[in-house]
């Protein structure tokens, strides 16, 4: 088994411990495992010749996310940003432990960690691919659930922020997705301005 396959196996084993479940097409999956596989799938669709670092980052982007709950941080934007920052460091550290275990060099581990932490977004092509893929996973699998929780105004704001993070490649892929009537309407409104 290659180092890449070993790392994927260990990432997947870890993410299958996720206590939350996602039901997709009648099947139940541990949520972080499901989203990691779908993020990997989107990376492969966006960039079929993706390098090994990008593939490793895609499969470990949110590894163990449930271990640092949002509820442990204060409400509001400051608490949210601190939570996201701490999560990024945690994911990079956890992925680094596994990558080191299967034999990646410190330089290779560092490169994967840079992508996981989304360093130099808009300047680093691999980081932009991950960001596009993350936004597409959100739009394909989480968007409709969020519509039920937020007001139209907040939802339009979320969509505009999501759109701003993506490149043209991400935009083109997002426009090809099938949306619910409400979801399509909100995207149309968000993109009007």
Domain ranges of the chain: 1-117, 121-193
Is the CB of residue 158 less than 8 Å from the CB of residue 150? yes
Q: Write the pLDDT tens digit of every residue in 72-117.
A: 999 998 999 899 999 999 999 999 999 999 999 999 999 999 999 9
- Residue 138: CB atoms within 10 A of its CB come to 16
Q: What is the pTM of this model?
A: 0.93
CA 154 to chain centre: 21
What does R_g of the chain's alpha carbons equal in angstroms? 17
pLDDT tier at 1 (50, 70, 90 boundaries)?
confident
CA 16 to chain centre: 16
Going by their DSSP bridges, the two strands 27-30 and 21-24 should be labelled as antiparallel
- Residue 51: CB atoms within 10 A of its CB come to 14
Q: Write the pLDDT tens digit of every residue in 32-74.
A: 999 999 999 999 999 999 999 999 999 999 999 999 999 999 9
Q: Is the pLDDT of residue 6 over 90?
A: yes
């Amino acid at each position: 088994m290659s180092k890449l396959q070993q790392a994927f196996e260990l990432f997947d084993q870890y993410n299958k411990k996720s206590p939350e479940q996602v039901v997709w097409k009648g099947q139940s999956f541990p949520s972080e495992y499901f989203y990691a596989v779908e993020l990997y799938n989107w990376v492969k669709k966006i960039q079929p010749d993706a390098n090994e670092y990008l593939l490793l980052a895609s499969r470990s982007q949110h590894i163990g996310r449930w271990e640092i709950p949002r509820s442990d941080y204060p409400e509001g934007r400051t608490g949210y940003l601190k939570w996201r920052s701490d999560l990024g460091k945690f994911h990079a550290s956890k992925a680094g432990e596994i990558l080191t275990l299967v034999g990646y060099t410190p330089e290779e581990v560092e490169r994967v960690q840079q992508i996981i932490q989304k360093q130099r977004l808009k300047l680093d092509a691999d980081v932009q691919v991950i960001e596009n893929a993350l936004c597409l996973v959100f739009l394909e699998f989480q968007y409709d659930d969020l519509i039920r929780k937020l007001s139209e105004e907040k939802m339009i704001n979320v969509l505009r922020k999501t759109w701003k993070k993506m490149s043209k490649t991400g935009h083109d892929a997002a426009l090809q997705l099938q949306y619910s009537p409400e979801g399509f309407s909100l995207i149309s409104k968000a993109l009007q301005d």
